[in-house]
Amino acid sequence: MREVTVSRVVDASPDDVWARFDPPMIVEAEGSFTVENIEDEGEATIVVASGPGIRLPLRFEYRDETIYYTQEGEQGPFSHMETWLECEPADGGTRVTLRSSVSLSAPLPFGDRIAAWKRKGELKRALEEIESAFA
């Protein structure tokens, strides 16, 4: 398993970031999948995402000023994937940090490194989308 982290200060308040980037918007901002379906399950939101040949449910929960989400079930490219999106006031704006822990489901040499590299690209795209939303 590998962990990747990306962070950036954006010109918005934490409340503005939370209001604008709900679970479906986060999936779209990452750029690899499109949102197929959204289901509310009490304290969690399940976003069913799809891409070429892949359909996977992502479970989102709000936890103490953090959005936490994970790939649910056995479907999808990862045997394990969990991500935290955190916002905190910083430098007249908000420091947005995305941290993800991943493990590839395929038994490839260096598979977890490949998964981490791919995941880091998705998190960077999400940060770019968040930043551009407030530019």
Q: 53: domain CATH number?
A: 3.30.530.20
Residue-by-residue DSSP string for 99-116? EEEEEESS--TTHHHHHH
Number of domains in the chain: 1
Give the residue carrying structure tokens 């040499």.
Answer: 109
Q: What are the pLDDT tens digits along the chain (135 aa)?
A: 899 999 999 999 999 999 999 999 999 999 999 999 999 998 999 999 998 888 889 999 998 889 999 998 776 677 889 999 999 999 889 999 999 999 887 776 677 888 899 999 999 999 999 999 998
The half-sphere exposure of 62 on its side-chain side, counting CA atoms within 13 A, is 12
The H-or-E segment that residue 28 falls in is helix 23-30
Single-letter amino acid, residue 124: K
DSSP bridge pairs for 39:
46
At 90 the three-state DSSP class reads: strand
Query: What residue numbers bound the domain in which 19 lies?
Result: 2-133
